[in-house]
Amino acid sequence: MQFLRVASSLILAAGVLAGSAALAAEPENTMIIELKDGEVVIALRPDLAPKHVEQIKALVRAGEYNNVAFHRVIEGFMAQTGDVQYGDMEDGYNSQLAGTGGSSMGNIPAEFSNEDYTRGTVGMARAQSPDSANSQFFIMFAPAPSLNGGYTIVGNVESGMEFVDNIKRGNAAQNGVVTDPDRMVSVRIAAD
pLDDT (tens digit, 0 to 9) for every residue of the chain, 192 residues total? 444 443 444 444 444 444 444 444 699 999 999 999 999 999 999 999 999 999 999 999 999 999 999 999 999 999 999 999 999 888 778 878 889 999 999 999 999 999 999 999 999 999 999 999 999 999 999 999 999 999 999 999 999 999 999 999 998 888 899 989 999 999 999 999
Predicted pLDDT of residue 174: 87
For residue 153, what is the domain's CATH number?
2.40.100.10
State the DSSP H helix or E strand holding residue 164, giving kind and residue range, or none if neither: helix 161-164
How many domains, in total, are found in the chain? 1
Q: What is the CA radius of gyration of the chain?
A: 18
Q: Is the C-alpha dihedral spanning 122, 128, 131, 136 positive or negative?
A: negative
Contact indicator for 40, 156 with CB cutoff of 8 Å? no
Predicted pLDDT of residue 163: 98
Measuring CA to CA, how many Å separate 42 from each of 1, 24, 156, 174?
Answer: 42, 8, 5, 28
Predicted pLDDT of residue 90: 85
Predicted pLDDT of residue 37: 97
Predicted pLDDT of residue 30: 98
Predicted pLDDT of residue 74: 97
Predicted pLDDT of residue 96: 83
Residue span of the structural domain in which 9 resides: 2-189
Predicted pLDDT of residue 5: 44
Contact indicator for 47, 153 with CB cutoff of 8 Å? no
Q: What angle do CA 89, 95, 101 make, to 5 degrees?
A: 80
In the sheet that holds 39-44, the strands lie side by side as: 72-74, 78-81, 137-140, 121-124, 153-159, 39-44, 30-34, 186-189
